[in-house]
Amino acid sequence: MPEGSVLSRLAGEREVLFIGGKGGVGKTAVASALALQQARAGRPTLVVSTDPAHNLGHLWQRPVGDEPVELAPLLRGLELDPAKTTDEHLKAVRRTMERLMPDHLQGEVGKHLELARDAPGTHEAAILERVSEVVAGRSPDELIIFDTAPSGHTSRLLALPEMMQAWTEGLLRRQDRSAKFGAALRGLEGEDQRSADIVGTSRTSVGPRKTQDRRAKRDSEIKAILDRRQERFRSLRTVLQDPKRASFVIVLAAERLPVLETIELEQQLRRARMSVDALVVNKRSPRDGGDLLAARHLVEEGYIEQLRSALPTVPTVEVPLLPGEVVGEEGLTSFAQHLH
């Protein structure tokens, strides 16, 4: 890959790169080729698949799972397991809720969490937790490349930090109001107790005081948990929305639906204040490969012109249709030479 190429510059200058687009267009190959190029240049790199239909292990022809594994010198790979991530996310929530909720509500907690397992957004929230952990655990000189799920899933995932922070802030405000209301009630209870003492009808306050202490401790712990969650999402959002730290690269085929999806995804990411800094048009038909491919090349030209007209400021990289399958380190090395 030429040192001066758009993609190599992005990979060399950013902390985090997201590679996304429609399914089946070659996102994993682009992510892995960029990661291999950076690792060979001496930069520690982690390539992470967030796609439920993982291809990272198949492409590298070795097992890749939910813990980082070495793919090449200075290059590690990680496939986030959606089911495992969701299970661990809900278990952590359950442990917290069981510790904080009254005994008589424990059964309700379990029932609602089981219902939440398949609720809309649960999977994305769990994956987002892992994404934030990966980004927060990044070493200072490391590059993280996310090989993301197809467009719709990715746009929802990247909109979540903003939504989750707003949701958490709402919970904190409600918790703060609840704490103030509880303090006012305790003040009234104190006044009532002092009045009872004056008229000689004092009642024991050991039980209520212990209850109040437990509530205060619980409220304090809830606030600490929400504060940590808010800070985690704030930090992730700060990275994602900084164009000097994070970029998005969209991979597509020169066909009608992928082009339309790309234009829509770029708009969604822009609304989420993420920077789309390159487009990779993969598997371009050659104009000199016979009548069929020449005709196909001409059709593709029309779609690429549509893409450039809609997104005139985003650089476009064209990768030719290659004769063989891109697999293994050798295949990725050959593929990387066309990312210029």
Q: What is the pLDDT of residue 256?
A: 96
Q: What is the pLDDT of residue 203?
A: 47
The amino acid that residue 70 corresponds to is E
> Under a CB-based contact definition with an 8 Å cutoff, are residues 47 and 19 in contact?
no
What's the angle, vertex CA 35, arms to CA 34 and CA 37, rounded to 5? 65
Interstrand relation of 75-79 and 69-72 (parallel, antiparallel or unpaired): antiparallel
What's the angle, vertex CA 309, arms to CA 305 and CA 313, rounded to 5? 115
Q: What is the pLDDT of residue 101?
A: 65
> Under a CB-based contact definition with an 8 Å cutoff, are residues 255 and 303 in contact?
yes
What's the angle, vertex CA 90, arms to CA 88 and CA 92, rounded to 5? 70
Using a 10 angstrom Cβ sphere, with 0-12 exposed, 13-18 middle and 19 or more buried, the burial of residue 263 is middle
φ and ψ at 49, to 5 degrees?
-95, 125
Q: What is the pLDDT of residue 196?
A: 47
Residues 181-207 have pLDDT tens digits of 455 545 555 545 554 454 454 444 446
What's the angle, vertex CA 155, arms to CA 152 and CA 160, rounded to 5? 125
For 281: left if phi > 0, alpha if psi spans -120 to 50, otherwise beta; the answer is: beta
Read off the tokens for 231.
């800070």
For 57: left if phi > 0, alpha if psi spans -120 to 50, otherwise beta; the answer is: alpha
Measured between its terminal Cα atoms, the distance across the chain in Å is 6
Q: What is the pLDDT of residue 4?
A: 56
Query: Is this structure's pTM higher than 0.85?
Result: no
**How many other C-beta atoms can be found within 10 angstroms of the C-beta atom of residue 298?**
11
- What is the enclosing helix (H) or strand (E) of 133? helix 122-136
- The number of C-alpha atoms within 13 Å of 59 and in the hemisphere containing its C-beta is 27
Residues 251-279 have pLDDT tens digits of 999 999 999 999 999 998 888 888 999 99
Which residues have a Cβ under 8 Å from the Cβ of 84 and sit 6 or more positions away? 66
Q: By three-state DSSP, how is residue 242 classified?
A: coil
Checking 113-120 for CB contacts under 8 A at 24+ apart, the result is 116/90, 117/86, 117/90
pLDDT tens for the chain, residues 1 to 340:
445 589 999 999 999 999 998 888 999 999 999 999 999 999 999 999 988 777 899 999 999 998 999 999 999 999 998 778 778 777 777 777 676 666 666 677 677 667 767 766 677 777 888 888 899 999 999 999 999 876 555 555 566 555 555 555 555 565 556 555 455 545 555 545 554 454 454 444 446 666 667 666 766 766 676 677 767 777 888 898 899 999 999 999 999 999 999 999 999 888 888 899 999 999 999 999 899 999 999 999 999 999 999 999 999 999 999 998 899 999 999 999 999 7
Q: What is the pLDDT of residue 71?
A: 97
Please tell me the distance from the alpha carbon of residue 75 to that of residue 164, in angstroms, as a whole number. 31
Q: What is the pLDDT of residue 174?
A: 59
Q: What is the pLDDT of residue 186?
A: 54
Which residues have a Cβ under 8 Å from the Cβ of 11 and sit 6 or more positions away? 17, 34, 35, 37, 38, 143, 145
